[in-house]
Chain A
């Protein structure tokens, strides 16, 4: 069973516009959520995280929104830049076990 799902395998956005990446989860025990960015031939790098007690966290151009009742989170990138083109993974964590469960990823392409 896929506990963390990213239903959009790919997304194309014009430079300067907003990119919205979505993620759904099924396990209500998850209490922390993270977004990672991955370039080809590199390891994933951390972008932003949010605790389940919050509904929004912002860091520069990146904002993560959490809707616990819908078991849904989203990452907003504003404005999008060509350097943002990468694969984005959402991850969920249960603090009791510290096991990170990742989604399948969304490939973002920002068009210049």
Chain B
């Protein structure tokens, strides 16, 4: 299994507060991703990174920012949390390879009240 650690695993926060989720990998993979999973929507890409300091928007990037200052860490920040951002967030990593497999973390359940 790829070494992907998400923290925290669970968080409850109030509307309007900033929140940062952390993804740490030990695989030295080039690509890192943040997804959110919601009923009826599957997994939707928020932001991804193709290298240190190189990031790009995904399908649902509004209200989110990311940073990648080191290969192993990818941070997702909700600038001002809203109830619509209540979700389960997954980090993933990948590297160029034969089967193009992406590896996922265990997820962070975020509740905005």
Could you tell me which A residues sit within 8 Å of B by CB distance?
A: 6, 9, 32, 34, 36, 41-46, 49, 89, 91, 93, 95, 97-105
Contacts and interface: CB of A to CB of B under 8 A. Distances in A.
24 contacts: A6-B42, A34-B100, A34-B102, A36-B104, A43-B90, A43-B92, A44-B43, A44-B104, A46-B99, A46-B102, A49-B101, A89-B43, A91-B43, A95-B100, A98-B31, A98-B48, A99-B45, A99-B48, A100-B33, A101-B45, A104-B40, A104-B42, A105-B42, A105-B43
Interface in B1-24: 4
B94 A44 contact: no
B92 A100 contact: yes
B58 A99 contact: yes
Contacts of B94: 98, 100
Interface of B: 4, 31, 33, 35, 40-45, 48, 50, 56, 58-59, 90, 92, 94, 96, 99-107
Nearest to A48: B99
Contacts of B33: 100
A98 B106 CA distance: 21
A45 B104 contact: yes
A43 B104 contact: yes
Contacts of A103: 42
Given A32-B100, A34-B102, A102-B43, 17 more contacts: A9-B40, A34-B101, A36-B104, A41-B107, A43-B107, A44-B90, A44-B104, A46-B101, A49-B99, A91-B102, A97-B50, A98-B50, A100-B33, A100-B94, A102-B45, A104-B40, A105-B43
Cβ-closest 7 pairs across A and B: A43-B104, A104-B42, A102-B43, A46-B101, A32-B100, A49-B99, A105-B42
A89 B100 contact: no
A93 B44 contact: no
Contacts of A97: 50, 56
Contacts of B35: 102
The winner among A41, A43, A93, A105 for most chain B CB atoms within 10 A is: A43
